[in-house]
Amino acid sequence: MDNDALSFNSSFTMEGTVLPDLDELIDAVFNDQTLLVSEGGMDSMFFNPYHKHHICPVRSLITARQTIVEQHDVQDGRTDMQGISWRGGERGKQAFRDNRDHFRAPAYSYPFYDKLPPLVENRDVINYDGNEFYRFRYTDTNVHCSHHHPQLRNLVYATSKNDVYYLHDNTIKHWSPQCRSSKAVLGRPLKNLHSRVPHNITTMAAMDEYLMVGGEDGSYTFMNLQTCDNPVFDSFTTVHYLEVNGIEITRSRTGDPIAYMSSNDHIDHQLRCLDLNTLQVSATFPTSAFINFASQSPDGHMLAVVGDETDGHVMSVNSRENIATLKGHQRYSFSVAWSPDSRMLATGNDDRSTCIFDTRMLSSPVHILSQDVQESVRSLRYSSCGRYLAMAEDRHYVHIVDTTTDYSQAQKIDFVGDISGISFTPDGEGLYIGVSSIDFSSLLEFEKARPTWGGNKYDQFDPLYF
């Protein structure tokens, strides 16, 4: 078994294995040492017989793994939301996380970032204490998520409370929370010749009955989820490298379904808008850099564009001209999201911050959210009611900010592993997080936390809950 990959086909425990003191174990983890232990179930599970008596200490921080995890399992303290029982609790979990991070370069570290000035710490004060806006509900650790590109993490979409689409092994799969079952809908192992997808899927989007995926070679596949007719595979160009970085499916002001396709377009330097009824390019927007993501405001008037430059842009959908330049970030941006009323705009960046702009005053951000953010902000989503903004880091953490408190109250969801994507359900009642770690891949399901009598002061009289 690969010492860097830990996979579980069934539940296990370490009963009968004698382990060293926790302090000694954690010291060995940080020093990347092996340990001599007594014979037992642990070493026989992970190593061949000639490895007997020696274990990799980071593995011994895990005492058990559960396949199906429900809310009561976490509430009763039997396991965490990923089905893991950690030796030493949160301390052991953090040691495991630190060990994995030590052997992986930060995703936000472009080589030329080292030549840029140090990041300026300009943080709004955010209170995380005691906040639980969304509560863990369920996960099946046999349901696996994945991602191909280290920076593109929009690979989970919920089109209804019972339909969640995600990427696994270059295949788009459908998860039914109601039936608690998963099936492939596009890509391998389907035998249909028309189910062709890009060789390496980098991004995807789904809304209503529409599904689209894009690949690293500029190709894309479009599928109607209602009819399930032959998916359409096409490409923007014959040039080999024109990576599709982001896709947003939305509707035009006339109600027609459209898709904004962001790419590394070094040929035409433009953002494309596709009419999903005809799959023809209906509009193009000139750009000055590679575009990582573009999002149309819900009212259909504005288009926010972020990419490989420190500034973002807001453009007019009708005139296709630049309305405003978004300043406030110090690195490249990979995510952007509008509030449902089109008033607020959020941009996520490699500088480990999310800037919040008021469209009535786009000259500078009204908030810069970076407190307790460890890595790049890869994905942003507003809930349908606009109350919550979810911010996904590169790995380990998703932050949920309560916008009604002037972005001053937040919840941090922490786990172990890379994040492939996040998605609220259209009604805002549910939240899904794709974990694409080689060790603990899963799809985590959350539900809106209902207030209890005498509960959180921010929730107690909120009509949005009832």
Give all domains of the chain, ordered by start, each with its CATH number: 53-109 (no CATH), 134-448 (2.130.10.10)
Scan for tokens 């029982």, then name that residue: 85
456, 131 Cβ separation under 8 angstroms:
yes
Neighbours of 39 (CB within 10 A): 12
pLDDT at residue number 58: 60
pLDDT at residue number 319: 95
Helix (H) or strand (E) holding 28: helix 22-30
pLDDT at residue number 126: 94
- Angle between the 22-30 and 90-102 helix axes, to the nearest 10 degrees? 10
Antiparallel, parallel or unpaired: β 84-86 and 156-160:
unpaired
Neighbours of 268 (CB within 10 A): 15
Of 145, 89, 112, 105, give the one whose Cα is nearest residue 432: 145
Cβ-in-10-Å burial (0-12, 13-18, 19+) of 40 comes to: middle
pLDDT at residue number 55: 41
- CA max distance for the chain: 72
User: Under DSSP, is residue 140 helix (H, G, I), strand (E, B) or coil?
Assistant: strand
CA 178 to chain centre: 22
Cα 204 from Cα 355, distance rounded (Å): 24
pLDDT at residue number 440: 85
Cβ-in-10-Å burial (0-12, 13-18, 19+) of 344 comes to: buried
Could you tell me the two tokens for 59?
A: 């593995």
C-alpha torsion sign, points 190, 192, 195, 200 = positive
Neighbours of 110 (CB within 10 A): 14
- Helix, strand, coil shares, percent, the chain, to 5: 10, 40, 50
Of 85, 155, 119, give the one whose Cα is nearest residue 350: 119
Alpha helices in 61-199 (DSSP H): 71-75, 90-102
pLDDT at residue number 361: 93
Cβ-in-10-Å burial (0-12, 13-18, 19+) of 257 comes to: middle
In degrees, rounded to 5, the angle at the alpha carbon of residue 112 between the alpha carbons of residues 106 and 118 is 75
Cα 437 from Cα 396, distance rounded (Å): 10
pLDDT at residue number 110: 66
Tens-digit pLDDT profile for residues 317-360: 999 999 999 999 999 999 999 999 999 999 999 999 999 999 99
Low-confidence ranges of the chain (pLDDT < 70): 1-59, 102-112, 115, 122, 189-195, 237-241, 451-466
CA distances 324 to 83, 249, 284, Å, are 46, 23, 18
Cα 306 from Cα 293, distance rounded (Å): 6
Of 202, 128, 216, 200, give the one whose Cα is nearest residue 409: 128
Cα 213 from Cα 207, distance rounded (Å): 12
Tens-digit pLDDT profile for residues 49-103: 333 333 445 667 788 889 999 999 999 988 999 999 988 888 888 888 887 776 6
